[in-house]
A and B are shown apart, each in its own frame.
Chain A
Amino acid sequence: MQLLSDLLQSSIRLASPVMLVALGETLLERVGLLNIGTEGTMLVGAFVSVWAMVTTKNSLLAVLSGIGAGCVWGFLFGIFAVLLRAEQVIVGAGLNFLALGITGGLLRSLQGRELALVVPLLPTYPPLDSNFLTYCAFLLAPLATWFLYRLRWGIVLRACGESPETMVSLGYKVRSIRFGVTLVAGSLMGLGGVALALGESGTFIEGMTAGQGFIALAMVVLGRWNPFFVALGCWGFGWLRAIAANLQVVLPPVPYHLILIIPYLGALAVLIVAGRRSRSPSALAQPF
């Protein structure tokens, strides 16, 4: 029983970074944009929040600057993908490379002579013993579904991803709407990075996201572009990570590296099962 409640708690904690990123990506894909720069956006969010935490010692400022960094990456994506109509997959890849290089390169100047940067974790609150970013993630999911399916603006947003031409003829500024969503989505992804750095590990390590941004991409497909189900998928991923982490304690003979690949194999497996019947937004990754 103790193990189960431990697992429940760590699943919630481990799920929240991916969940925030996946929610951002869901909104983005709903307006017809595919950004594989999730990994890099997370990375800059994590890096800048740790940087701000070290320099200002103020957790609110740290969280806000992480969001800001994510927003900047969203802005860059918007410039290339929306304004200049470039190929979205390649822009996303480029933004990942840029984030990896900049955060890895600046880490040294931030670290000075220290071996590792340790910053305090965000405070946790009952009943789930989680920080407020985790609560944010779990509250945002149903809210986003409600927004997308029940509110007028949500429906407009989805329509931009299904048939942008129609929306233009109805008088909507599709490209402005899309650009706006890239900023919101970038901020959410940056927040995911903050949740990873300040909520989970309390430090920044080069390439610390280790593919979680890409797991978020898979979760969007798994949840069929519905934020609520995407978040459920991310929670499932949190369970997988929690179980994998405990497996290492319970069954030491299982090699460390094999445990590391469980989440990726798991994401692939659910894609194979769930991807079959899914339908992406019609205008996804089409330039407009």
Chain B
Amino acid sequence: MILRRLRNWAVTLLPILVGLLLGLFLVAIAGSASGFSPSSVLQSLWEGAFGDQFAIAETLVRSIPVLMTGLGVAVCFRAGLWNIGAEGQLIIGGLSATALLLQIPMPTGLALLSGSLAGAVGGSLWALPAALLKLRSGINEVIVTLLLNFVAAGLLGFLVTGPLMEQEGSLPQTDPLPETARWTLLLLPTRLHLGLFFALLLALVLHFVMEKTVIGLDWKAYGASPESAKTLGIREDRVIWSAFLVGGALAGIGGAMEVMGATYRLYEKWSPGYGYSGIVAALVARLNAAALIPSSLLLGALTAGGLGIQRTLGLPPTLTWVIQACLLLPITLRLRPKG
């Protein structure tokens, strides 16, 4: 019994460990191609993620949007729907929340609530075309969600240089959100904010929904085999609509939380690819909402570490995508599609 459990753990963790080590190895090599010793690259990666109080806080802050997009991705992937659009849904969520909170002044509690709601609505709207086109015309959701990511990024660029650009000054960014529309900071002077606990709560709620409720079971059944799910009387349209809307809403809330908790304003290239890291996190967690908590922490650490190597060595943070890819690829082997 204990042995079997140990074996299960090993089977789960081994590909992650192998991927991580391979990724770190490749990054160290790439760093040495730019003239830095492998150990200095790994050290600044580590210090960026866990070096001091600031670094740890930064890791936590950056794992929040990864967790939220990861939850959204996990819901859709569970249902066998390849939603690659969490990045776009996150951006639109952030945009909706910012647009609302800059227009209408609200007291703190109401502002946080309505900002999150606006994010959820925006994210859902951005996921809606994928569901609609898949159901109506049988168009592959992968292409639709991918293309919408680029539309969202362009829209963000347009709004922060045009309609939403700051009133004073001429930088391509929005005005900062009012104090009342920000999550409480927990550990001054770091950026750690109360939104972290909101995200954790949502992860636990999602875990319950995905494992213990009828709709969660429907997603799972449809993802495992659409044909047998339909035979069992599960309605295909309901599965597809609910998965995309819930998935989009979660990513959108993530965007709202990032702007209300960490950046306070939007600018071009505001998201360093949280939505894509969310995909990696969701798969590392094997689409389990509770397991997403540690896995998004890992991805958050990589994001923070990437900024570390940029700060101390001047290497591009893009380099950490090598590690994320190495984490992702071994997992695909356990993930056999339905056939």
Contact = CB atoms under 8 A, between A and B. Distances in A.
A123 interface: no
Contacts of B329: 80, 91, 94, 98
A33 to B, nearest CB: 12
A268 B280 contact: no
A166 B162 CA distance: 58
Residue among B155, B314, B316, B320 with max Cβ neighbours from chain A (10 Å)? B316
B138 A275 contact: yes
A268 B337 contact: no
A94 B325 contact: yes
Contacts of B142: 34, 36, 89, 217
A211 B320 contact: no
A260 interface: yes
A261 B147 CA distance: 10
Contact of B325 (A97, A107, A256): A97
A109 B34 contact: yes
Contacts of A101: 318-325
Interface string A230-273: 00000000000000000000000001111011001101100110
A97 B276 contact: yes
Interface string B1-42: 000000000000000000000000011001101110000000
Interface in B129-160: 129, 133, 136-140, 142-144, 146-151, 154-155, 157-158
Contacts of B136: 276
B321 A100 contact: yes
B328 interface: yes
B332 A264 contact: no
Interface residues of A, number: 53
B322 to A, nearest CB: 4
B27 A260 contact: no
Contact of B133 (A89, A97, A275): A275
Contact of A107 (B276, B316, B326): B316
Contacts of A105: 27, 30-31, 34, 315-316, 318-319, 322
A109 B321 contact: no
B333 interface: yes
Given A36-B84, A97-B276, A268-B129, A108 B335 contact: no
B246 interface: no
Contacts of A257: 154-155, 157-158, 161-162
B336 interface: yes
Contact of B140 (A94, A108, A221): A221
A100 to B, nearest CB: 5
B339 interface: yes
A214 interface: yes
Give chain B's interface secondary structure class: helix
A268 B148 contact: yes
A87 B148 contact: no
A100 B326 CA distance: 12
B144 A91 contact: no
B322 A214 contact: no
Interface in B34-82: 34-35, 82
Contacts of B266: none
A90 B283 contact: yes
A70 B162 CA distance: 39
A97 B280 contact: yes
Contacts of A98: 321-322, 325-326, 329
Interface string A21-62: 000000000000010100000000000000000000000000
B321 A93 contact: no
B324 A97 contact: yes
Contacts of B301: none
A276 B323 CA distance: 39
A271 B329 CA distance: 30
Contacts of A94: 325, 328-329, 332
A118 interface: no
A198 interface: no
Contacts of B206: none
A98 B26 CA distance: 10
Interface string B248-292: 000000000000000000000000000010011001000000000
Nearest to A206: B318
A166 to B, nearest CB: 15
Nearest to A95: B325
A22 to B, nearest CB: 12
A136 interface: no
B92 to A, nearest CB: 13
Given A261-B158, A271-B147, 9 more contacts: A90-B335, A93-B84, A100-B321, A101-B319, A215-B147, A261-B150, A264-B147, A271-B133, A272-B133
7 contacts: A34-B142, A93-B276, A101-B319, A105-B318, A109-B33, A211-B147, A280-B140
Question: Which 4 A-B residue pairings sit nearest by Cβ, starting from the closest?
Answer: A101-B321, A104-B318, A261-B154, A101-B322
